[in-house]
Amino acid sequence: MTAPGSAPDRGAPPDPATGRLVVVGASLAGLRAVESARKAGFAGSITLVGAEEHLPYDRPPLSKAHLGAGPGSEPAAPYLREEAHLREELGVDLLLGRPATALDTAARVVHVGGREVAYDAVVLATGSTARRLPGTDHLDGVHPLRTLDDARAVRRALEARARTVVVGAGFIGSEVASAARGRGLDVTVVEAQPTPLARAVGAELGAHVAAIHERHGTRLLTGVGVASVEGDGAGRVERVVLDDGTVRPADLVVVGIGVVPATGWLEGSGLRLDDGVVCDETLWAGAPGVWAAGDVVRWPNATMGETQRLENWTGAADQGAAAARNALDPAAAAAYATVPFFWSDWYDVRIQMIGSPVADEVLVVDGDPTAAGRWVALYRRGDRLIGALAVDAPAEIMKYRTQVMRGGSWDDALAHAAARRERAAGRAAGPAS
Amino acid sequence: MKITVDYDRCEGIGMCESLAPHHFQLEDNGDLTVLQAEVAPEDVSDVEEAVASCPTGALRLQ
Ligand SMILES: Cc1cc2nc3c(=O)[nH]c(=O)nc-3n(C[C@H](O)[C@H](O)[C@H](O)COP(=O)(O)OP(=O)(O)OC[C@H]3O[C@@H](n4cnc5c(N)ncnc54)[C@H](O)[C@@H]3O)c2cc1C
């Protein structure tokens, strides 16, 4: 969108005392945008527009602690900040419970319900929404897991000891399966692809990660799709029929088949939409004063040499802060680049990935992925370390993130891995403690 | 300035180590060790970034 050599006109900076910053999407990226604007000294007005009734809350716990069998009732909602903090300390105008329906980049207004909210700078942070399974909207007991309301419904079903079928062996579906198994329930995970998690960690390691399910008593069916989800006549889900004719009885079906960026409301805005809001390296969305952050963004990530759309906590938090800083000082807009990171907790196993699985070679450098217990694998692109995956190896993973950040070489990564193995062997042979 | 950790919240995710490796270290069992609680002025921005990047909000710098 920018001709090489010419600086784009990203818009004038909002007046630091009287300017109007509007943030659309009241979740992690939106909240971080607000906080970073205030931290940068912006004293103008900030309006935070959110489709949900809830104050901004944290999503990772929704498929983890929130679903676990604890004593007593439902855990507290994982709100990120208290309302008083948002309104009084951060001075935010909260417009919750109604979605923005349109962005007018010429008039510089966001349409929310019947209102027009004017901006000097706007940060689009509407995240992503869960993909639905066609033909299941009318059935009780079929849920995605994206929102607090979804998590509450899934938790209630687990409390009622639902026979559980999870459609999609991605991270969120796998966490739900873990929670259900943790309660001793019968769980089946159905994955249409022959190998789960191929896009996230690569096909080879995806199979190894997925094997964690079988080790914990979760039935995993791969390479088979869902033919239909059937109800009992009263509109409650009763069973799932698979392409190969298999029938699984189900009181709860959790649909974890991925997310789509929430850009529907931006159709007709003139912004470039292509699996996300297409941004430049500074998270500028192409119209004066319009920036974007979080799951909704597709942007060129120079550190990884890929154009990416992230779907993880760290990316959303960082981009929220970066987009707001740039929105307030467009002439000095800084490129945002990162080594992506996500974690996921299955059963008692922690899975962590840094960097990219788009690689020429994948090598296990520690442990045995075909057995229970810790292991580490590295991804090579050209002569560079480009990613790392750690299963129950929390002391290892971030050292590789630092290396990828620096553009570290494959040889250096292998030398580091060898040194870590030696250290571990030394410890094992050392005096028992 | 000084780092404090709320160990009731910390889940050993390790973002802090990747951003400020001279101050934070994850152990094999996932426990977090603070290598230096006192933060020198030249390290403040790295540690601030580490604090902001903690998904469990377990870190403070004050
Ligand atoms: C169950 C679950 C578990 C997860 N676990 C992990 C994990 O372990 N590790 C990890 O790294 N990541 C995890 N993630 C991913 C992480 O939570 C997301 O990447 C992060 O929430 C993205 O933040 P965001 O602010 O960009 O978007 P979102 O969190 O998707 O929020 C966008 C907000 O915008 C609102 N909105 C949408 N359209 C409009 C509109 N038109 N007007 C106004 N508001 C609108 C939505 O209602 C929503 O509240 C998990 C996600 C889920 C759902």
Kindly write down the DSSP assignment for every residue of A206-230, as one continuous string.
HHHHHHHHHHTT-EEEES--EEEEE
Residue A173 and residue A167 in contact, taking contact as beta carbons nearer than 8 Å? yes
The C-alpha angle A422, A428, A430, rounded to 5 degrees, equals: 100
What's the mean pLDDT in A379-389? 98
Q: Does domain B3-61 have CATH number 3.30.70.20?
A: yes
Greater model confidence, A163 or A75? A163
Q: Which of B14, B53, B55 is the closest to A394 by Cβ?
A: B14
DSSP, residue by residue, A53-109: SSPPB-SGGGGTGGGS--SSSPPPP-BSS-HHIIIIIS-EEEEESS-EEEEETTTTE
Regarding the domain with residue range A20-129+260-332, which homologous superfamily does it belong to in the CATH classification? FAD/NAD(P)-binding domain (3.50.50.60)
ipTM score above 0.85: yes
> pLDDT of B8-54, one tens digit each?
999 999 999 999 999 999 999 999 999 999 999 999 999 999 999 99
Same fold, A20-129+260-332 and A132-257: yes
Domain boundaries, chain A: 20-129+260-332, 132-257, 348-427
Q: Which tokens belong to A388? A: 């790392």
Q: Does domain A348-427 have CATH number 3.30.390.30?
A: yes
> pLDDT of A310-332, one tens digit each?
999 999 999 999 999 999 999 99
Q: Which of A133, A59, A128, A121 is nearest to A276 (CA)?
A: A128
pLDDT given for residue A433 in this prediction: 47
Cβ contacts of B30 on chain A, cutoff 8 Å = 350, 394-395
Interchain pair A405, B18: CB under 8 A:
yes
Computed over every residue of chain A, the mean pLDDT equals 95
Rounded alpha-carbon distances, angstroms, from residue A416 to A322, A366, A413, A422: 32, 11, 5, 10
> pLDDT of A90-147, one tens digit each?
999 999 999 999 999 999 999 999 999 999 999 999 999 999 999 898 999 999 999 9
> pLDDT of A398-430, one tens digit each?
999 999 999 999 999 999 999 999 998 888 887
Q: Which tokens belong to A256? A: 């974890």
Residue A257 and residue A190 in contact, taking contact as beta carbons nearer than 8 Å? no
Q: Which tokens belong to A253? A: 């079906």
| All residues at 6 or more sequence positions from A271 whose CB lies less than 8 Å from its CB, including other chains | A103, A105, A277, A278, A285, A286, A287, A290
Distance of residue B58 Cα from the nearest chain A Cα, in angstroms: 13
Residues across chain A: 433
Tell me A179's DSSP state: H
Residue A417 and residue A395 in contact, taking contact as beta carbons nearer than 8 Å? no
Long-range contacts at B42-49 (CB < 8 A, ≥ 24 apart): B44/B1, B46/B19, B46/B20, B47/B1, B47/B3, B47/B20, B47/B23, B49/B19, B49/B20
Cβ-in-10-Å burial (0-12, 13-18, 19+) of A202 comes to: buried
Residue A4 and residue A322 in contact, taking contact as beta carbons nearer than 8 Å? no
- Tokens 């009763």, residue? A238
Q: Which of A27, A20, A29 is nearest to A47 (CA)?
A: A20
> In which band, very low, low, confident or very high, does the pLDDT at A432 lie, cut at 50, 70 and 90?
low
Q: What number of CA atoms fall less than 13 Å from residue A349's CA on the CB side?
A: 24
Q: Which of A384, A418, A390 is nearest to B18 (CA)?
A: A390
The C-alpha angle A262, A42, A310, rounded to 5 degrees, equals: 30
* Cβ-based interface (< 8 Å): residues of A facing B: 58, 60, 313-314, 317-318, 321, 339, 341, 343, 350, 352, 354, 393-395, 397-399, 401-402, 405, 424
Interchain pair A402, B21: CB under 8 A:
yes
> In which band, very low, low, confident or very high, does the pLDDT at A431 lie, cut at 50, 70 and 90?
low
Q: Which tokens belong to A356? A: 């990219």
Residue A317 and residue A368 in contact, taking contact as beta carbons nearer than 8 Å? no
What's the mean pLDDT in A158-169? 97
Q: Which of B12, B53, B55 is the closest to A394 by Cβ?
A: B12
Q: Is the pLDDT of residue A22 over 70?
A: yes
pLDDT given for residue A72 in this prediction: 66
Domain boundaries, chain B: 3-61
Q: b/e map of A364-393 (b: 16 or more CB within 10 Å)? A: bbbbebeeeebbbbbbbbeebbbbbbbbbb
pLDDT given for residue A9 in this prediction: 87
pLDDT given for residue A5 in this prediction: 57
What separation in Å is there between the alpha carbon of A128 and the centre of ligand 1?
6
- Pocket of ligand 1 contains residue A47 by CB under 6 Å: no
What's the rounded Cα separation, in Å, for the pair A146 and A154?
Answer: 11
Regarding the domain with residue range A132-257, which homologous superfamily does it belong to in the CATH classification? FAD/NAD(P)-binding domain (3.50.50.60)
What's the mean pLDDT in A206-216? 96
| All residues at 6 or more sequence positions from A269 whose CB lies less than 8 Å from its CB, including other chains | A102, A103, A104, A105, A287
Q: Which of A343, A393, A402 is the closest to B13 by Cβ?
A: A343
Best residue among A104, A255, A295 to mutate for probing ligand 1, ranked by most atoms within 8 Å of CB: A295
